[in-house]
Structure 1
């Protein structure tokens, strides 16, 4: 069994596939394509880390992050965004995720950032 559990939340299938490929060998990874699925997974799967996109089809990433924090404030959160001065990003920053990374991200960079917050 793998030491850490991870949820990757993005409404783009390609990003979810890429994140799964990056992390599946080291972490127990599950995917969510919406904020509501991510919240249900957080409750059931109890992850150590969540990689969360700011823009989701059904919910704003800030709302998802706030809910994750209220369920379990010990879950490490990394927010991924393709937007720099967006209003939703400002809302996310107020919720104090462990890290914010810009898309497109470098594979080795995101891998090292996850290790940095978990170890």
Structure 2
């Protein structure tokens, strides 16, 4: 029986405790790559193409919205899930207009996070968003 390769998730998160929480929730099922800001997220995306991205919005050097737009210029199909503390509907709409496929609020609901990642990975080729 062949062992299946675990999908790669790029987590763009500058806050170490938030990253460690996401890592703890996902490390069993996914390979994890960590970017500390938007610039590093774009570089890691290019150098180690992930299967999906978790993107914080507020990061130093380059925010998640700008990084998402840059990644979307390269790849329209990669599932991008915004994980943010911003709760206003306008923040969500801005994130969707910048190219995210789903938006999850902090503090993160583990079941919602894992089910959203699974769903997006399973329908990666269909270009849909979850609202």
Q: Provide Cα deviations, 1:38-75, integer angstroms capped at 9, x if missing partner.
A: 11000001011000001111112110100111121121
* CA contact 2:69–2:99 (8 Å) conserved in 1: no
> Could you tell me which residue of structure 2 aligns to residue 85 of structure 1?
88
Segments of 4+ moved more than 6 angstroms: none
Superposition RMSD on alpha carbons, in Å? 1.7
Match of 1:94 among 97, 100, 111: 97
> Could you tell me which residue of structure 1 aligns to residue 14 of structure 2?
11
Q: Provide Cα deviations, 1:57-116, integer angstroms capped at 9, x if missing partner.
A: 111211010011112112110001111238665432212311011111111221111111
1:1-119, aligned counterparts within 5 Å? 2-85=5-88, 89-119=92-122
Q: Using the alignment, how far apart are the partners of 2:61 and 2:93 within structure 1?
A: 19
Unaligned runs of 5+ in 2: 123-131
Unaligned runs of 5+ in 1: none
Equivalent pairs counted in the alignment come to 119
